[in-house]
Structure 1
Amino acid sequence: MEIKPDTRKLIELAHYRMPFGKYKGRYLVSLPEPYLIWFQQKGFPEGKLGDLLKAMTEIKINGLEGLIYKIQKDFPKQ
């Protein structure tokens, strides 16, 4: 079985910006890891933002931010 990532979702994740708070306007990939861990401990928001924050937390914990930066470069936001 081959695992194929959903390219559209990865592109969306790469270009999604934090909509509120101290880091409003920053790309999720630019959020500090301790901030993401705090959300993980306190509870992610409901809905799309929560799902994207969960995914970004896993990406950062596993040191895969380079993938997101490459997507930002290779697939500029339209």
Structure 2
Amino acid sequence: MNPEDLPLLLTRVMPFGKYKGTPIADLPGNYLNWFAREGFPKGEIGRLLALMQEIDHNGLSPLLDPLRKR
């Protein structure tokens, strides 16, 4: 994990699909888990989705709270 990716989870939005326009950090766990099963897209979005899925799966979402308050 790259620490510089954490703020990107709050600023990058889902560019397609049911949750288009939703910040990566706000995507539901079941949607992230679907990508984990089916495969993450290539590029930055896929990398961020994989990171958010790992954070969500391990119950670490509160780590993002201090970044949300900035």
Same fold (TM over 0.5): yes
1:14 aligned onto 2:10: yes
- Compute the TM-score of the two structures, normalised by the length of structure 1: 0.78
RCO greater where, 1 or 2, for CA within 8 Å and sep 6 or more? 1
Larger Rg: 1
CA shift, 1:12, in A, is: 1.5
Equivalenced residue count is 70
The answer (yes or no) to whether the contact 1:40–1:54 under 8 Å persists in 2 is yes
CA shift, 1:40, in A, is: 0.5
Separation of aligned partners in 1, 2:68 and 2:31: 21
Q: Which runs of 5+ in 1 are unaligned?
A: none
**Identical aligned residues as a percent:** 44
- Compute the TM-score of the two structures, normalised by the length of structure 2: 0.86
